């Protein structure tokens, strides 16, 4: 109801303003004043209004900065995030400095040189010195920023030291996240969306998962054959035959995927850990790998300055090192309820807002204790 009243009020206000404008137009016609006639008084009024707007505009910048600057993200909780923040601060610093120089000059000169009948405009075709300055200076500044940005990005994306990294896969689908840890061998098993079935929600390819899914399919196929032999309705028999064909096709797909998967990856998958909560050890390199089941998602860890697209049929990854535990960040932010969170930063459907996963950064000791309490993938297939 409140929204409706606001809309009605806005419509009424627009109509009222339109009527006032019409009244002014009629008054000018009665006085014999043409709309195209502009007097010194008009220019003076418009110049003062523009200068007033400029002053209020600049003042609003400082007011908004003071009022809402605290809503920005807290300090970076990752090693590379410090460099990202520095790059951001330098870029924004340059932008703000240029803004604070150019905008006051723009509004002041617009007021100072407002139109007057006794003032003649000076036409200047070009000025080589001015053009060189306003071309070279921005070009140099932008070149420095771009080169610095490329160097920072190259350093962040370095993959030269991953021997001791914690390997975790983040699997996105409409509308949630699942984390899969590499387990004791620190080697993720293979996975494929066509291997999804039952409790195997991320399509991990392993011999135990293959055996369990094949047993389930064989059981369902046997039941379908019994139904087929007892069903007299022709239409229902057609539906059962279609279901049988799908199950036989599924068996062929599973067999083909297992046959082309290297033996070491089949074995590596058995100790993978699939969970719905992301735990990370502090001050230890984390190698995140990303997959998507359906549409493009974007894994976004804002407090760690991490973002990477999850693309169906493609594997992407990102490497970073958390530097602040959840408990330490609660103290830093003064918020006892603070939690790190994994979000989806691509609008992926109606329930996009639901794609959140709790992230806990803790000591390596606590992390190892938590990992020891988790069930490995093979256990879910027994």
149 in any annotated domain: no
pLDDT confidence tier of residue 37, bands split at 50, 70 and 90? low
- pLDDT for 329-372, tens place per residue? 999 999 999 999 999 999 999 999 999 999 999 999 999 999 99
- pLDDT for 70-84, tens place per residue? 888 889 999 999 999
Q: How far is CA 345 from CA 75, 84, 352, in A?
A: 20, 18, 9
User: What are the counts of helices (DSSP H) followed by strands (DSSP E) for the chain?
Assistant: 9, 10
Bridge-based pairing of strands 278-281 and 273-275 is: unpaired
355 in any annotated domain: yes
**Residue 291 pLDDT greater than 80, yes or no:** yes
Mean pLDDT of 182-203: 89
Please answer whether residues 82 and 340 qualify as being in contact, where contact means their C-beta atoms are separated by less than 8 angstroms. no
- Most confident among 36-50, 108-122, 155-169, 287-301 (mean pLDDT): 287-301
pLDDT confidence tier of residue 103, bands split at 50, 70 and 90? very high
Please answer whether residues 374 and 363 qualify as being in contact, where contact means their C-beta atoms are separated by less than 8 angstroms. no
74 in any annotated domain: no
67 in any annotated domain: no
Residue 284 is predicted with a pLDDT of 94
User: Which is higher by pLDDT, 88 or 25?
Assistant: 88
The two structure tokens encoding residue 17: 């303003």
Residue 114 is predicted with a pLDDT of 86
Number of domains in the chain: 1
Please answer whether residues 308 and 318 qualify as being in contact, where contact means their C-beta atoms are separated by less than 8 angstroms. yes
CA distance 260 to 70: 53
Percent of the chain past pLDDT 90, that is, above it, reads 58
Q: Give the mean pLDDT of the chain.
A: 89
> Alpha helices, DSSP H only, in 262-348?
263-269, 326-333
pLDDT confidence tier of residue 18, bands split at 50, 70 and 90? confident
- pLDDT for 115-161, tens place per residue? 888 888 777 788 888 889 889 999 999 999 999 999 999 999 888 87
- What pTM did the predictor assign? 0.80
CA distance 19 to 25: 10
27 in any annotated domain: no
Residue 36 is predicted with a pLDDT of 60
Which CATH number do you get for residue 361? 2.60.40.420
- pLDDT for 323-336, tens place per residue? 999 999 999 999 99
DSSP 199-245: TBTT-B--HHHHHHHHHHHHHHHHHHHHHHHH---HHHHHHHHHHHH
207 in any annotated domain: no
**Residue 33 pLDDT greater than 70, yes or no:** no
**Owning domain of residue 376:** 166-189+272-381
Residue 2 exposure: Cα atoms within 13 Å on the Cβ side: 0
**Residue 34 pLDDT greater than 70, yes or no:** no
CA distance 258 to 368: 31
Residue 287 is predicted with a pLDDT of 95
Lowest-confidence pick of 29-38, 82-91, 271-280: 29-38
**Residue 374 pLDDT greater than 80, yes or no:** yes
376 in any annotated domain: yes
Mean pLDDT of 10-30: 81
230 in any annotated domain: no
Mean pLDDT of 186-191: 90
């Amino acid at each position: 109801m409140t929204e409706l009243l606001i809309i009605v009020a806005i419509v009424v206000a627009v109509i009222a303003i339109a009527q006032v404008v019409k009244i002014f137009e009629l008054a000018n016609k009665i006085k014999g004043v043409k709309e195209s006639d502009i007097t010194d008084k008009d220019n003076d009024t418009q110049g003062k209004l523009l200068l007033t707007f400029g002053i209020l505009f600049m003042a609003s910048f400082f007011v908004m900065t003071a009022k809402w600057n605290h809503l920005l993200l807290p300090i970076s909780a990752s090693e590379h995030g410090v460099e990202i923040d520095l790059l951001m601060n330098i870029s924004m610093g340059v932008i703000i400095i240029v803004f604070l120089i150019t905008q006051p000059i723009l509004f002041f000169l617009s007021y100072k040189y407002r139109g007057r009948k006794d003032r003649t405009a000076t036409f200047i075709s070009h000025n080589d010195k001015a053009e060189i300055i306003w071309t070279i200076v921005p070009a140099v500044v932008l070149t420095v920023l771009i080169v610095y940005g490329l160097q920072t990005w190259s350093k962040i994306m370095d993959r030269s030291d991953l021997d001791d990294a914690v390997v975790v896969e983040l699997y996105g689908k409409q509308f949630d996240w699942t984390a899969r840890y590499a387990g004791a061998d620190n080697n993720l098993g293979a996975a494929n969306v066509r291997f999804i079935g039952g409790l195997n929600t991320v399509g991990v390819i392993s011999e135990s998962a293959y055996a369990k899914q094949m047993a389930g399919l064989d059981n369902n196929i046997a039941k379908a054959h019994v139904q087929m032999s007892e069903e007299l309705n022709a239409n229902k028999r057609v539906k059962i035959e279609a279901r049988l064909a799908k199950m036989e096709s599924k068996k062929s797909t599973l067999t083909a995927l297992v046959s082309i998967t290297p033996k070491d990856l089949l074995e590596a998958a058995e100790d993978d850990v699939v969970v719905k909560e992301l735990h990370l050890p502090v001050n230890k390199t984390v190698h995140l790998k990303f997959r998507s089941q359906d549409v493009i998602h974007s894994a976004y860890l804002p407090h760690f300055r991490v973002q990477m697209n999850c693309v169906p049929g493609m594997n992407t990854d990102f490497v970073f090192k958390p530097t602040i535990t959840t408990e330490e960040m609660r103290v830093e932010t003064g918020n006892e309820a603070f939690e790190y969170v994994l979000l989806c930063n691509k609008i992926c459907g109606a329930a996009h807002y639901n794609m959140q996963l709790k992230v806990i950064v803790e000591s390596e000791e606590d992390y190892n204790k938590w990992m020891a309490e988790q069930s490995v993938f093979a256990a879910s297939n027994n």
